[in-house]
Structure formats: C-alpha cells, structure tokens
Structure 1
C-alpha cells in the first residue's frame, strides 16, 4: 500500500484548511468526544448537532449522565434512533464512576472495554482526546483506503478491516494522530463520497490515488450485497380520551426496547380497549433490516381504563416526559389534533 505512505502530509494540510467547525472538535475533552462519537454512529453530522448541544446542556459531566433518570435520557435521545446507544452510554458512565472515580480512562484498552464502544470509537477517543497513535477505521476510512490503494478486497470483511487498520497504524503521524484520524473521516464524508462520483478534483490525494489513475473509483469499495429487508404489516391504535392519548412501553428486548409507543402489533390485531375505531392514516418506517408498513386507527375510548402499565399522556407529557421513537412520526399530526 505504497500510496498510503504519501498521504499524511497532504491530508493534514488539506484538513487544516477544510475541516468543518464542529463543537466536539473545538473542545475535544474525552467526555465530549465520546458522546459525539456515539451519537455519530450511523447518523449524519447535521442531525447530531442539535442533539449534542441539548444533551451536554442537560448532562454536562460523566456523573450527570450516570445519575440521569432513564425517562429523561430517552427523551434527550428521542428521534436519534438506535436507542441502545443511549443505554450503553449510561452503562459506561456508571462504569467510569465506579472503576475510575469519574475520570474518563486514558488507555485504548480501558476505553475499548466500556459498553457500546467498539474498535473505531475507542480509536477515535484515544487519538482525539488523548493523542494516542491508534487508527479509527469507520466506513468513510475504509472507502478512502480502498480507493486510494485500488484494493478490491471486500471492505465489510473483518480481515480487510484488520489489514487496513495495520497499514494506517504504520503511517500514522505520532504528533497528530487525532487530526489524522479526523482528516481521514472528513475526507470520506465530504470528498471521497459514497453512492456516486467522488469529488476527486478537491482531494489532496488525487495525484497518487490508484483508483483514480485506473478509473475504478466508482467501482470501489467492494461490498457484500445488502440483505433484503423484511416487510411487516402493523396496526397502530391512537386511543384518545379527554384530550389525552394512550401510550404503552415496549418490552425490554428487541426493536425499540423500553420506549413508549402508540400501541402497535403485527396485523391483524384487534384493539384491546373498548371504543369506536376509525381508520386514520398509513405510515412507513425503515429500520436496518425491517420495514414497518403501518395502518393507524383513532379510537374514541369508552372509559379511562387501560391495560396494566399503559398511561394516558397529555400534550405536556408527550413533549417533556415520554420518549416516542420516530417510527411513529407519521401519526404525530393526528395526535396533535386531539390532545390538550
């Protein structure tokens, strides 16, 4: 991978002039970098910015995160998706409090051992917050290295990631490992783009990129075919009474575990509450491996009796207390019309 040997100097120079101004870059404390990296997993930067600011305002320290009530934590995360990330953040915060006295651990191995932290996230925190020369290899980095070296190995294979990681470790500048990792990620996010033509004319590696030289940049990286999503037809009941809507908490395991929802189940599902039901709308939500196609019905409840564990929520409770996943956003306008 001789092309990689030429990369550090032009890449760092490009990054100095082109890096986006992001809050976690301006103040790269371990806590800030950690929170940002967890939020950025499978989520665009633009979507994270507002959540990051609100999260740190509410939970400015590891201690505050460790002690945060679950309902508040889920509400802060509402809409970001992949809610297990938030739960793992809190588990890790409690581990930092118990094992490290509230001080974020400073070695790669200790960081990697925290709940919800994989190789990439540990490398990002170790290099950015602590200056350790550890690669941080995510999808953007895999794409950049694959194109730069015209490597046709399948990038989703662990063996390929291991080879790329070792190659980057050998050329990583020890005086600026955090900037180097962030520059690689930035290059992949803003120039060496996925799903279309990369912006080669803006790339600091254009002069020595093997894929560009061969004309294969749009054929790389090589990936395994995506698994087809399973489609699930679901019924959603928007149960209403006196300006309130009924909510129930999902189970502790599985998709959207532990979150509140308008009661829903795979179709067919008769409404478990007595009342007049009327078709209201259809909606769709796509998860990684499953697609929900939902038919929503409004139900005018005959009484305030609900199954055990369900609650009635007014407008204030929906806005401030109960975290509903974005899967049910297609029906939020219907609820808004009926609650007080």
Structure 2
C-alpha cells in the first residue's frame, strides 16, 4: 500500500514536473534514455541545472550515444567540459563510456548493483539511473532529498550523522511502481518548493504531513555540523602571449584539473617556488583566487610577450575563456578588457 505522502507527492509531480532536456515527462509513456540519464546525473553532481543545460546540449549533439562518446578523443571531451568544474567527472565519463562499450556491448546495465561497478558511478548516481532509466526500485538521495526528508521527518541530527535516518525515511516513501518519477518528484520539490531558504510551505503538497513545519523548525533544517576551515595554498601561473598565440600545457592526468589544457603553473602549496617555463622578464599582473572542494588557492599572475623556447608546454592559438575557470580568471587579470 502506497504511503499517503508518496501519493500526494506523485499528484503534485504530475502537474508541476520541471521541463528538463534529459527528462521524460511523467505519464508520457516513453522510456528514458539511460545514456542521457547517466550523462545528466554526472553533469549535475555539485552543479546547478542552469549551468548544465548548455553543456548537456553540446555533448548530446556531438556525442549522441555512449558508443560515440567512448570513441571520442580525450582532449576533445576535456575541452568540451571546460568551465563546468570538477574535472575528474569528465575523465570518469570517458572511462565509464568505454567500459560500457567494452564490457556491456554498449548497453548500460539495468541494476543498481551493476551500475555501481562502473567507473565514476557512486551510490547516488547508480540509484538515480536504476530508478529513472530502468524503473528499478532504488532509494535516491541527493542534497534536495536530504533537505525534504529532514524537514518532513523533523530530523534534527546534524549532517552527515543524519544520513542513515534520512535514507531510512526516503526508503519508506519510495514506491515499487514508478520509482523514477518518485525520485524526480522529491528532487523537484526540494529544488522549487522546499528550498534552503524561505521554503514555500503554503504550496507544498506535503505540508500537512511535515513534522518540521508543525514544530516550527522546517527552515532551520537540515542541521549541519561545523565545517573545518579550508586550508590556503599559493602558486604562480605564467601567461606568455605572443600575438594570438599562448603558451599552454596539458596538466597531468591525475589530480586537480587533470588532463585539462592550462597555462603553466608552479606547484600549489603553502610555500611554492617560482617555476617559469622559460627565461623572460615576467611582469606581475596581480593575483587570482579560486576555491576548490578542499582548499582555497591564490595564484600570482605573471605575464610576458616574449616567445621563448619553453621547458614545457607548447604554443597554441586558442580562446582563453574556453580554459578551466581558474585559468580564464588568470587571463582576465593579465589582459583586462578595455
């Protein structure tokens, strides 16, 4: 027997589901494409829907299925991903596509367990693909779901310790039939109604069932344990421009921004040493600051117009704004538009 909360949410979703390019509308009858579901879920990790839409459109136009993506050149995929951030996702995207083609004849496995065995697919993504693309009952929990569940159940345990309680409640509400629509309904509710600040409780389909609203604490949930301050790192970035050519290098395949085209840099540490790619009179163009998941980074920007013989990298004609955000920032610092 379906839970009353699940029924109310399903009715709301049938009327208010977001129109997203990777989604099949509720009641449409069309089966979602596992490739598009997987691609969108990977892109949406720690990234907003608004930021993902254009990238999703470009990827699916250039590589319309998993076989096309698996056959793509690494550099082309990394370049297409530039600006979306969290670049390990792009590397894992290629690994996963190639594994699906090599080990599964180009067909995504249908079960949560089998999906979890693919490169770059964690518990959330495996559950989401299984539920949405294959209608396997799987408990899908992302940030939006966490917020809805903590408020619905008045779960006051701080995150991340609250995760088992949140998952247990989400599990109780997940139906056997149409689990994909249910998962997307909870995510849509969190994104549009049960928002982090000023939740619109008056129009929420679960308002009469929400223990957090009844207790007057909904807006304060979920609770979060205090975060440790992020460490600070520093470094140097070198912008050599000669006419329309720039000196660039491909970063090592592992590590931050791995495999991405970038301007040469020094190490990133508390006490970095200069590491110019060639001898020149490097001009100080200020600093840029960027925050990664685990640390803040400040780079001193140095520039020259000399076309030297570099120890590393190569001269190339490119659009600096197509580089990862950190290096696009450095370019704007070195060569501000007039």
Give TM-score, length-normalised by structure 1.
Answer: 0.89
| 1:41 alignment counterpart | 45
Given candidates 290, 313, 316, the residue that maps to 2:316 is 313
| 2:203 alignment counterpart | 202
CA shift at 1:119, angstroms? Answer: 1.3
For 1:69-84, list aligned pairs within 5 A: 69-84=73-88
The range that moved more, 246-255 or 266-275, is 266-275
Structure 2 gap segments, 5+ residues each: 25-29
Report the Cα distance in structure 2 between the residues aligned to 1:197 and 1:168, rounded to whole angstroms.
23
For 1:104-253, list aligned pairs within 5 A: 104-157=108-161, 160-194=162-196, 196-253=197-254
Is contact 1:227-1:289 (8 Å) kept? no
Is contact 2:302-2:334 (8 Å) kept? no
Q: 1:335 to 1:163 in 2, by over 3 A?
A: same
1:260 maps to 2:268: no
**Structure in which a larger fraction of residues adopt helix:** 1
Report the Cα distance in structure 2 between the residues aligned to 1:85 and 1:75, rounded to whole angstroms.
13
Report the Cα distance in structure 1 between the residues aligned to 2:96 and 2:273, rounded to whole angstroms.
40
Q: 1:291 to 1:337 in 2, by over 3 A?
A: closer
Segments of 4+ in structure 1 off by > 4 A? 334-338
Count of paired positions = 326
3-state secondary structure, aligned to 1:189? helix
1:279 maps to 2:284: yes
Deviations 1:245-273 (A, max 9, x none): 11122223322122222112244415341
Deviations 1:128-170 (A, max 9, x none): 111111111111111111111101223313xx43443343333
| 2:298 alignment counterpart | 293
Is contact 1:78-1:325 (8 Å) kept? yes
1:100 maps to 2:104: yes
Report the Cα distance in structure 2 between the residues aligned to 1:150 and 1:110, rounded to whole angstroms.
34
| 2:27 alignment counterpart | none
Structure 1 gap segments, 5+ residues each: none
| 2:55 alignment counterpart | 51
